Chains A and B, each alone.
Chain A
Amino acid sequence: GDSVTQMEGPVTLSEEAFLTINCTYTATGYPSLFWYVQYPGEGLQLLLKATKADDKGSNKGFEATYRKETTSFHLEKGSVQVSDSAVYFCALSDQVGEGAQKLVFGQGTRLTINP
């Protein structure tokens, strides 16, 4: 079945450092890809998405490019802030039924940014 593998955490960086969180996937067909962020005690928020090969999703300084040839969707940010500390989930979307979708998640990567 479909699966998502994320970089092992936790990841600790200093403020203004460059961030990369690796994500690779295995899927039949052509899924959409997502990054979600979870702050402590909260639900998940959509950070960015890409729906086809070579698409680049971006939001709040974060970027990720859908690479079909390497089945990857790595998350990057050029200069992280303390407020970026959270758990980040990579996910792919697999359509089920008549239009509902099943999200398949990676295990999450906890990011801590020190001032």
Chain B
Amino acid sequence: DGGITQSPKYLFRKEGQNVTLSCEQNLNHDAMYWYRQDPGQGLRLIYYSQIVNDFQKGDIAEGYSVSREKKESFPLTVTSAQKNPTAFYLCASSILGGYSNQPQHFGDGTRLSIL
């Protein structure tokens, strides 16, 4: 079955440490996205990518970085510059369409906590 795989499910970060969250999809989708979810809040867009080797900042990109070297993969690095990284991180993908009606498919998320 096609889908999005995020790993690890739980991740712990020490102060001053960078950590990388993995996201892989086998849906052959061109577009991929990273969202952050905080308790009792909706999701906020961190970064998105429409094509290999290209990506754009979302609403809350500060303290994060991404890469898109392969169509299937869109890893997110939470850097030490992100002062409040504790959150649930969700990766999504979608096909590119001429209209904004293509649903996004989500992975099961990675929960990041600070030690």
A32→B94 CA distance, assembly (Å): 14
Q: Which residues of B contact A (CB under 8 A)?
A: 4, 6, 30-31, 33, 35, 40-45, 48-50, 56, 58, 90, 92, 94, 96-109
Smallest beta-carbon distance A58→chain B, Å? 15
Q: Which of A34, A95, A102 contacts B103 (CB 8 A)?
A: A34
A32 and B101 within 8 A (CB): yes
Q: Report A-chain residues with C-beta under 8 Å of the C-beta of B96.
A: 98-100
A46 and B100 within 8 A (CB): no
A34→B30 CA distance, assembly (Å): 20
Smallest beta-carbon distance A79→chain B, Å? 26
Given contacts A100-B50, A103-B43, A105-B43, contact A32 B56 (CB under 8 A): no
Q: Which of A36, A93, A99, A107 contacts B40 (CB 8 A)?
A: A107
- For chain A, give the interface size range: 20 to 34
Q: Report A-chain residues with C-beta under 8 Å of the C-beta of B94.
A: 100-101
A102 and B108 within 8 A (CB): no
Q: Which of B35, B56, B104, B107 contacts A96 (CB 8 A)?
A: B56
